């Protein structure tokens, strides 16, 4: 079964279902407690869990390319990998104790926790995959076009694009850059530069700062503004601020930590 997304034919891999108990409820884990933390390393922003465990089929072994996580048919996350099975089965799907602490893989923890919360809400989670060696450029192109909610960054860019059969997108001439850029970096910089202890910003002001319209969920769901568990939260947490109050659809008040 194929899915055509932005001119690329993705193959359906599987539905992502966490391990369930006998009552059909996802089993939750707190692996951070198993880490022998002799150096007193602090947890990173997504390390407190809780987490679940899930797997993709063994047939995914050593497949290199781009994957998309669909939530009720909507692309929520775009990523690249050299080995699809390893990315999910020993990465996102099985959080190691060390990865919960600073220096560990924050993305693994964040995606795992989002999968757990999404499944508990009764939402269908599906995995799509496109096998390609041009995974870096294709990932970047799709993130630009789809602006998926779970992606924190726009990805890395390479000058070289390999020819791929069946892809309808136009070649892009991006220059390679190191590191990642969050969609909400401008909000982080704004708060870092603020000399106030409290900032109340209207939705219009926030959108002018970040340069794009906030998703509809930011207007109607208080958890979108939670201090952790979502990519946007890093913009104010990294700047040393927290959301102190929310007037949905009108304004957000941030307080300096």
- Whether the pLDDT of residue 164 is over 60: the answer is no
- Whether the pLDDT of residue 171 is over 50: the answer is no
Long-range contacts of 57-64 (CB under 8 A, 24+ apart): 57/13, 57/14, 57/85, 58/85, 60/13, 60/84, 60/85, 60/88, 60/129, 61/85, 61/86, 63/129, 63/131, 64/131, 64/132, 64/133, 64/135
Q: Say which residues have a Cβ less than 8 Å from residue 41's Cβ, sequence separation at least 6.
A: 101, 102, 103
- Whether the pLDDT of residue 161 is over 90: the answer is no
Domain boundaries, the chain: 2-135, 185-256
Kindly indicate the confidence band of residue 61, based on its pLDDT and cuts at 50, 70 and 90: low
Pairing of strands 8-15, 74-81: unpaired
Residue 196 has a pLDDT of 93
CB 83 within 8 A of CB 56: no
Tokens 């990173």 — which residue?
44
CB 26 within 8 A of CB 52: yes
How many residues are listed for the chain in this entry?
A: 257
Residue 174 has a pLDDT of 32
| Most distant CA pair in the chain, distance | 54
Q: Report pLDDT digits (tens) over 178-234.
A: 334 467 888 998 999 999 999 999 999 999 898 888 888 889 988 899 998 677 888
Distance CA(138)–CA(157), nearest Å, equals 10
Residue 247 has a pLDDT of 95
- Whether the pLDDT of residue 21 is over 70: the answer is yes
**Which CATH number fits the domain 2-135, given the four candidates 1.10.1740, 1.20.1070, 1.10.8, 3.40.1440?**
3.40.1440
DSSP at 159: S
> Does residue 85 sit in helix, strand or coil?
helix
Kindly indicate the confidence band of residue 129, based on its pLDDT and cuts at 50, 70 and 90: very high
Kindly indicate the confidence band of residue 162, based on its pLDDT and cuts at 50, 70 and 90: very low
Kindly indicate the confidence band of residue 20, based on its pLDDT and cuts at 50, 70 and 90: very high
- Whether the pLDDT of residue 59 is over 70: the answer is yes
C-alpha dist (Å) from residue 100 to 6, 85, 255? 35, 21, 26
CB 138 within 8 A of CB 122: no
């Amino acid at each position: 079964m194929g899915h055509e997304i932005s001119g690329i034919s993705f193959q359906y891999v599987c539905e992502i279902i966490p391990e369930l108990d006998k009552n059909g409820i996802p089993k939750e884990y707190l692996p951070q407690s198993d880490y022998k933390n002799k150096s007193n390393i602090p947890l990173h922003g997504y390390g407190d869990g809780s987490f679940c465990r899930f797997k993709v089929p063994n047939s995914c072994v050593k497949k290199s390319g781009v994957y998309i996580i669909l939530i009720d048919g909507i692309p929520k996350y775009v990523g690249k990998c050299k080995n699809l099975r390893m990315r999910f089965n020993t990465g996102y799907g099985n959080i190691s104790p060390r990865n919960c602490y600073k220096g560990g893989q924050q993305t693994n923890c964040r995606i795992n926790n989002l999968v757990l919360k999404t499944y508990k809400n009764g939402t269908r989670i599906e995995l799509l995959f496109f096998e390609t060696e041009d995974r870096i450029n294709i990932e970047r192109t799709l993130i630009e076009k789809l602006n998926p909610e779970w992606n924190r960054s726009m990805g890395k860019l390479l000058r070289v694009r390999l020819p791929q059969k069946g892809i309808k997108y136009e070649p892009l001439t991006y220059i390679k850059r190191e590191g990642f850029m969050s969609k909400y970096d401008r909000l982080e910089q704004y708060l870092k530069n603020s000399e106030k202890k409290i900032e109340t910003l209207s939705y219009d002001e926030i959108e002018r700062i970040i340069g794009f319209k906030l998703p509809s969920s930011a207007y109607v769901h208080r958890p979108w503004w939670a201090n952790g568990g979502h990519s946007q939260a890093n913009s104010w947490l990294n700047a040393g601020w927290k959301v102190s109050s929310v007037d949905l659809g009108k304004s957000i008040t941030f307080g300096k930590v």
